[in-house]
Structures are given as C-alpha cells and as structure tokens.
Amino acid sequence: MLAKSLPEILRYGENSGVEFKRDHLHPDELATEIAALLNLEGGMILLGVEDDGRVSGLRRPAQEVESWVMNVCRNNLQPPVIPYWEVIPWENDLTIGIITLSADSPDKPYKARRGQAWITYVRVGSTSRPASREEESRLYQASHLMRYDIKAVSGAGLSNLDLLRVQNYFRDILGQDCPAAEDEAAWKRILLNMDFMVESNTKTAVTVAGLLLFGARPHRYLPQAGITATAYPGTIKDYATTDEEVIRGPVVSLFSPGGAGRAGGENWQRVVDAGVIDRALSFVNRNMGVTAWLEGGRRVVKKDYPIEAVREAIVNAVAHRDYTIAVTDIELSIYRDRLEIISPGNLPNTVTVEKMRQGYRAARNELLKDVLRDYGYVEFRGMGVRERILRGMREHNGTEPELIEEEARFTVRLRKGAG
C-alpha cells in the first residue's frame, strides 16, 4: 500500500509528518527527527532520500540499516520506541528504508539524546526544534503525566483569592461549615486538601484552577484567563462592531447566601456578582436577535440560538481549553449569520470530534471541570455536546452545529438558520 503512494509522497516533499534523510546521518540527528514526529502526530522518515525528494537509495545493506535504526530508537530516545520498519525497492536497483511512527504515541514527551543531554523536540512544519517550556508542559499534560490545573501559580497566595466566592462554594454549593474569614490557617488547610492551593518551595501557593475559579484578579497572573467577546454587524471580522467586551475575573459567579442552586436553574436570578461564564452568556443574550410572530392569537418569541446550547459551548471552552497557551483568550464572536466560540488548544487527550458527537467524556482540566459540575454549569452525565448543542440546534432551527479542530484551536460554530 505504501509502495503505491510513495511517488506522491516524494513529489509533495517534506511536511509536518514526512522527513527525508540519508542513511548515514548521526544517531542523535535521527533521534531528533523521531522524537519530534512522535511528539506531534507521528509520521514517517524516508532514509535514502535527499531533501529535494530525489532518491539516492540506502548506502548500506538494508538489514544493517534496520539494526542501526532499532539501536537508535532504543538507546537515543527516552522512552525507547519500536517503530515499524520496511524497505521498498526503487528504480535503478535503489532501495528506500521507511521508519513509520504511530500517531497514537502514549508516552509524550519523547526526548532525544544530544551529546550528554536529553532534549524534547517538536515538529513545526517540515523542521524539528527544541520545545519551549510551554510546549513541553502541553506534552506532559497530553500524556496525563502532569495536570496543569493543579500546578502552583508563582506569587499567588491566599490574599489573591476572593474569599467571598470561596465561602460561597463551600457553604452554599457544597453545604459545608466554614471557618471564620480571618482564620487563614484553617482556610489554607481546606484549600490544600481540595488542590486549590499547593505547597511550593516551602510556601503555600494558589493553583491554576483555584485562581481561575476564585481569583480576585486571575488575569494578573494568568493573562490567558478570560473571554474576548465581539459582535459584528456583518458576516466577517471587521473594525466595525456593534458590541465588544473583554471579560475578566473569576470563572464562577457569586450567588446570594442560600441561593446558589444550580447554574441556569431556578436560582439563576440570585447572582450577586457574575463570573466569566455568566457574563459571556449575558453578552450573547443582549446581542442575538429575537423573532416574534402570532400563532392563533398567541405571541411566540424565538431567539436566534437556544440559550442552553450557547451556555454549553461557553462552559466547555472555559473548562477544557489549554491554559498552557498564554496570552490567548477564548474568543466569542457573534456575526449576522452565526455564533462562534474559539478555544485555544487542540482537543484534550484522546478526544476527537466524532467521539464528542457520540457523547465521549474526557477532560483536560479535571479539577476545574469537577467544580463547574458542583455549580451545575457542567451536567453530570457528560452528554452536553450531544444533547444540548447538537440536538438543541437541530430542534431549534434545523441546523447542524460545526465542531472544527484546527491547529492549536477548537471552534464551535452555531448557525442562525433561515428567517
């Protein structure tokens, strides 16, 4: 099968998943290319091919090259891998050795030996380069070796939390007794037990999730913590807008004592100070159109989008976005014909668009998701995309929501539908 597609691969040249090499390169260089491809989505390395796609062939016996490749994968990579190896005959008695690397590599980040050091490499277009600290963090997160939402935020302590919101959560959402506001030692113990704070370098620091949920000014430490909302009069991004809001602050709302209830439920009106999610929803409410007509003497009112579908899309963006991508807000855009929510980062873990449509559940930020579930923003069955967004839009106006995964971002697009 690969032999049939090989001429086309050679013709199109190197890309994010294809690398051409001679077979007498240094082991460290081969390990670099293998690690970079594994840290992206796998791919193949063609040995015996020049950079311009011209086949020069293996210079050594194929069996010797195979043994060398396997040694590199065992000794020059952490963790070691066993790639799929094959040799394909070419014109003029030449041969090409092909190293195929799986897209489902579970042990990211892969590191390549460079002298005495072990370095994480990433693939950017047709080149491989050392990973930045943020890129390496995302790789650890993808393989469940690190949970970014319980990582300490340097410099953020108890004083950086909105204690009213913290009390609101424990007292009114969870129904627990709370210590006095001035009892800092007791609050630290509670927050440490819940992973809203962690011990870091002998100091107690707030975690990413703690700051996102309850931070007084989370944007001061996490510039990516927010939503940029814009309403446009037409169908494209333009300098002309009808409404704009940069939404900053804690994710969850502050409810009146005893009135927190379930987000969006009967106590919805008891919000004392709206959080990011509810402010984003208010932005949509005031900027989407309403159609009204008479049916048998009764006035019927219909909004452009079902509010449950919009709420689900906003909550998912907040709960599952990649917070290791700094200085990039969630983007909420309302156009004349559609609504779009763009979340930074690829889909988490093993999630695919097709799995989402079927109700598959997996989270990137477990603690953040769990607390949003406590508030009622996230439903317990985990079927919000399938039921609220997909089915909700079909029943509302017969349109099919678009779930689009692109490089380093995920978009939910809801169509307004006909008149």
31 and 139 inside one domain: yes
- What is the C-alpha to C-alpha distance for residues 257 and 236, in angstroms, rounded to an integer? 43
75 and 95 inside one domain: yes
188 and 54 inside one domain: no
- 230-276 per-position pLDDT tens digit: 999 999 999 999 999 999 999 999 998 764 444 444 444 488 999 99
- What is the C-alpha to C-alpha distance for residues 287 and 245, in angstroms, rounded to an integer? 12
113 and 166 inside one domain: no
Pairing of strands 227-231, 330-334: parallel
Contacts of 178 (CB under 8 A, 6+ apart): 167, 170, 171
DSSP state of 400: -
326 and 351 inside one domain: yes
Taking alpha carbons only, the member of 307, 318, 305 closest to residue 378 is 318
- What is the C-alpha to C-alpha distance for residues 315 and 309, in angstroms, rounded to an integer? 10
pTM for the model stands at 0.70
- What is the C-alpha to C-alpha distance for residues 143 and 194, in angstroms, rounded to an integer? 23
Q: pLDDT in tens for each of the 419 residues of the chain?
A: 577 889 999 999 999 999 999 988 999 999 999 999 999 889 999 999 999 999 999 999 999 999 999 999 999 999 899 899 999 999 999 999 999 998 777 678 899 998 888 999 999 999 999 998 878 877 876 765 568 898 889 889 999 999 999 999 999 999 899 999 999 999 999 999 999 999 866 789 999 999 999 999 999 999 999 999 999 999 999 999 999 999 999 999 999 876 444 444 444 448 899 999 999 999 999 999 887 777 777 877 789 999 999 999 999 999 999 998 887 999 999 999 999 999 998 887 677 888 888 877 667 898 999 999 999 898 766 678 888 999 999 999 999 999 999 878 999 999 998 75
DSSP for 107-130, written as a single string: TPSPEEEETTEEEEEEEETTEEEE
Contact 308, 379 (CB under 8 A): no
Q: Domain of 232?
A: 227-415
Among the three residues 99, 116, 146, which one is the final residue of a domain in this structure?
146
215 falls within a domain:
no
- Per the DSSP assignment, residues forming a β-bridge with 119 are 112
221 falls within a domain:
no
- 286-341 per-position pLDDT tens digit: 999 887 777 777 877 789 999 999 999 999 999 999 998 887 999 999 999 999 99
- 76-96 per-position pLDDT tens digit: 999 899 899 999 999 999 999
Q: Which two tokens stand for residue 197?
A: 């704070």
180 and 300 inside one domain: no
- Per the DSSP assignment, residues forming a β-bridge with 113 are 118
120 and 173 inside one domain: no
- What is the C-alpha to C-alpha distance for residues 390 and 403, in angstroms, rounded to an integer? 10
- What is the C-alpha to C-alpha distance for residues 416 and 419, in angstroms, rounded to an integer? 8
Contact 74, 105 (CB under 8 A): no
Q: Which two tokens stand for residue 54?
A: 């011209």
213 falls within a domain:
no
Residue 364's domain is classified under what CATH number?
Answer: 3.30.565.60
58 falls within a domain:
yes
Give the position of tokens 């208010």.
Answer: 282
119 alpha carbon, distance to own chain's centre? 24
* 344 phi/psi in degrees, rounded to 5: -65, 140
214 falls within a domain:
no
Total domains, the chain: 3
168 and 134 inside one domain: no
117 falls within a domain:
yes
